[in-house]
């Protein structure tokens, strides 16, 4: 029987982030260029110049929206490049230690590494909220009532899958499950 369980956590390098970063960049670049063309009265591309588009107010607003969109897109690409939120959960029965490791934004606190003694763990908690913004999360609940999230932030996974993950973790570290 294995004494170490390691669950990989997918960070911001998901298809949806690549998709939205690309779409937002293309759309906002088009807005920016149309706004710029309305100011300079110069057609960068034939389809981007409109004679009836005045710089004030339409062109200025399009330039503002384009700049804002480009900045949002650059932020998304920044999180993808540095893979923010990725890491792992390691349950080591040999040492009696649970390690939660995540990458953050570059800087002094880029690496988040939390270690807990297995004896400090009271239970594995499942939190399920349905509705407009559903949440399905697994928490490590300590004896002093702290709740440490173990699941990734993403699309909600199926009830079966979240229950199976929680059951496997609870069985591995020999604690109870609450919240089902």
CA distances from 172 to 55, 95, 125, 143, 149 (A): 64, 14, 15, 18, 17
Are residues 169 and 154 both part of a single domain? Answer: yes
Segment 138-177, tens digit of pLDDT: 999 999 999 999 987 666 788 899 999 999 999 999 999 9
Segment 19-76, tens digit of pLDDT: 999 999 999 999 998 888 888 877 666 655 566 778 889 999 999 999 999 999 999 9
Are residues 94 and 77 both part of a single domain? Answer: no
Are residues 58 and 116 both part of a single domain? Answer: no
pLDDT of 44: 66
Are residues 120 and 37 both part of a single domain? Answer: no
Are residues 105 and 71 both part of a single domain? Answer: no
Q: Model pTM greater than 0.85?
A: no
Is the residue at 3 inside a domain?
Answer: no
Tell whether the model's pLDDT for residue 133 goes beyond 90. Answer: no
Burial of 38 (0-12, 13-18, 19+ CB in 10 A): buried
Are residues 111 and 59 both part of a single domain? Answer: no
* Residue-number span of the structural domain to which 129 is assigned: 87-178
Going by pLDDT thresholds of 50, 70 and 90, the confidence category of residue 179 is confident
Are residues 53 and 103 both part of a single domain? Answer: no
């Amino acid at each position: 029987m294995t004494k170490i369980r390691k669950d990989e956590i997918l960070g911001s390098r998901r298809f949806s982030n690549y998709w939205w970063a690309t779409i937002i960049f293309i759309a906002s670049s088009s807005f920016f260029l149309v706004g710029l063309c309305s100011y300079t009265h110069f057609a960068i591309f034939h389809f981007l110049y409109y004679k009836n588009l005045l710089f004030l107010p339409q062109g200025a607003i399009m330039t503002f929206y384009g700049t804002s969109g480009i900045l949002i897109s650059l932020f998304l690409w920044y999180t993808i490049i540095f893979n923010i939120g990725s890491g792992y959960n390691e349950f080591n029965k040999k040492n009696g230690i649970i390690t939660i490791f995540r990458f953050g934004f570059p800087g002094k606190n880029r690496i988040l590494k939390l270690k807990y003694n297995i004896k400090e763990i009271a239970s594995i908690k499942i939190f399920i909220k349905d509705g407009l913004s559903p949440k399905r999360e697994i928490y490590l609940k300590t004896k002093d009532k702290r709740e440490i999230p173990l699941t990734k932030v993403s699309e909600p996974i199926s009830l079966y899958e979240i229950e199976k993950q929680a059951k496997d973790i609870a069985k591995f570290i020999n604690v109870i499950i609450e919240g089902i």
